Amino acid sequence: MVVLGLTGTVAMGKSRTAGLCVRLGVPVFDSDAVARIVTGPGGAATAAVVAAFPEVASGDAIDRAALARTVFSDRSELRRLEAIVHPYVARAREVWLRRQSLARAAVVVLDVPLLFETGGDVHCDAVLVVSAPGFLQRQRVLQRPNMDERRLRGILARQMPTSEQRRRADVVIPTGQGLRVALRVLRQALRRYGPRQRGRPRPLR
């Protein structure tokens, strides 16, 4: 089973690309979705998060807006949150990978926003990085609710620069040239890194 990592900085089109993978029949592990589940009502990590950040408690649940305010401007608090949540996500990922292997999936995709930053790329056979021009990224981000320039700068400060991600990628998927171009490059990557390949071929550009 070939394991592909999918990553990219904020608003580069990673979620849409993950959706294209699903449309092409490739199983996708959405780490953000799992993180939301394990920190949701009754989630495996919810009690630990509330214990560490009691000010974000909202009954038996977590006030996500309050949690974001708490960790957004304090990197040490963000690391404390990640230290609680990431192990739960990692365990869910391993269970998911075992299930996909038993189901004889040929290729699977791990959708992880901080793949390089957390060292998750070492567990992948190849890494796909989604990328678009900076002006388009900024345009997409600022259209989101409760988003402004200050928050965008804070998010980008926590992520590896796109230029470095592109340098380390095995495949760069352009998401600023239309859906057809992104889909064509994605199809090429899925064919190139099929189960018959051995090692990492020369990156596509």
Average pLDDT of the residues in 114-124: 94
Given pLDDT bands bounded at 50, 70 and 90, which one contains residue 196? Answer: low
Q: Which of 106-110, 150-154, 171-175, 190-194 has the lowest mean pLDDT?
A: 150-154
pLDDT digits (tens, 9 = 90+) for 65-112: 999 889 987 889 999 999 999 999 999 999 999 999 999 999 999 999
Whether 203 shows a pLDDT value over 70: the answer reads no
Average pLDDT of the residues in 39-62: 94
Average pLDDT, the chain: 91
pLDDT digits (tens, 9 = 90+) for 138-154: 999 999 887 888 888 88
Domain residue extents for the chain: 1-27+108-195, 40-104
- Within 8 A by CB and 6+ apart from 46, the residues are 38, 39, 40, 60, 61, 62
Identify the three-state secondary structure at position 204.
strand
Q: Give percent above pLDDT 90 in the chain.
A: 81
Q: What is the CA radius of gyration of the chain?
A: 18
The answer to whether residues 130 and 111 touch, using CB atoms and an 8 Å cutoff, is no
Just give the CATH number of 1-27+108-195: 3.40.50.300
Average pLDDT of the residues in 181-187: 96
pLDDT, residue 195, reads 64
pLDDT, residue 174, reads 97
pTM for the model: 0.89
Going from the C-alpha of 190 to that of each of 9, 137, 176, the distances in angstroms are 21, 25, 20
Q: Where would I find the beta strands (DSSP E) of 33-79?
A: 57-58, 61-62
